Copies of this chain bind each other. A is one copy, B any other.
Amino acid sequence: MPVTDPSLPVLDLTQSPAELTVQLCDIESVSGNERALADAIESSLAAYPHLHVVRDGDAVVARTSLGRARRVVIAGHIDTVPINANLPVRRDGGDLVGRGTVDMKAGVAVALVLAAALESPAVDVTWIFYDHEEVASELNGLGRLARTRPELLEGDFAILGEPTSATVEGGCNGTARVDIRLRGVRAHSARSWVGHNAIHDAADVLAILRDYEPAELEVDGLVYREGLNAVGITGGVAGNVIPDEAVVTINYRFAPSRSGDDAIAHLREVFAGFELEVTDLAEGARPGLDAPLAQEFLAAVGAQAFPKYGWTDVARFSALGIPAVNYGPGDPLRAHADDERVAVDEIIAVERGLRAWLSGA
Contact = CB atoms under 8 A, between A and B. Distances in A.
A210 B206 contact: no
Given A190-B173, A207-B207, A251-B189, A233 B310 contact: no
A209 B237 CA distance: 17
A199 B253 contact: no
A353 interface: no
Given A231-B189, A309-B191, A197 B173 contact: no
A231 B227 contact: no
A132 B251 CA distance: 47
Interface in A276-326: 280, 309-311
A258 to B, nearest CB: 15
A21 interface: no
Interface of A: 173, 175, 177, 188-193, 197, 199-203, 206-207, 209-210, 214, 225, 227, 229-243, 246, 248-249, 251, 253, 280, 309-311
Interface centre among A237, A239, A242, A243 (most CB of B within 10 A): A239
A310 B190 contact: yes
A225 B192 CA distance: 10
Q: Is chain A's interface secondary structure helix, strand, loop, or mixed overall?
A: mixed
Contact of A239 (B192, B202, B232, B234): B232
A200 B210 contact: yes
Contacts of A206: 199-200, 202-203, 206
Interface centre among A177, A225, A230, A234 (most CB of B within 10 A): A230
Contact of A201 (B193, B210, B241, B243): B210
Given A190-B310, A209-B203, A311-B190, A236 B243 contact: no
Nearest to A237: B231
Contacts of A243: 230-232
A251 B246 contact: no
Given A193-B227, A231-B241, A239-B251, 4 more contacts: A197-B230, A202-B206, A229-B242, A233-B234
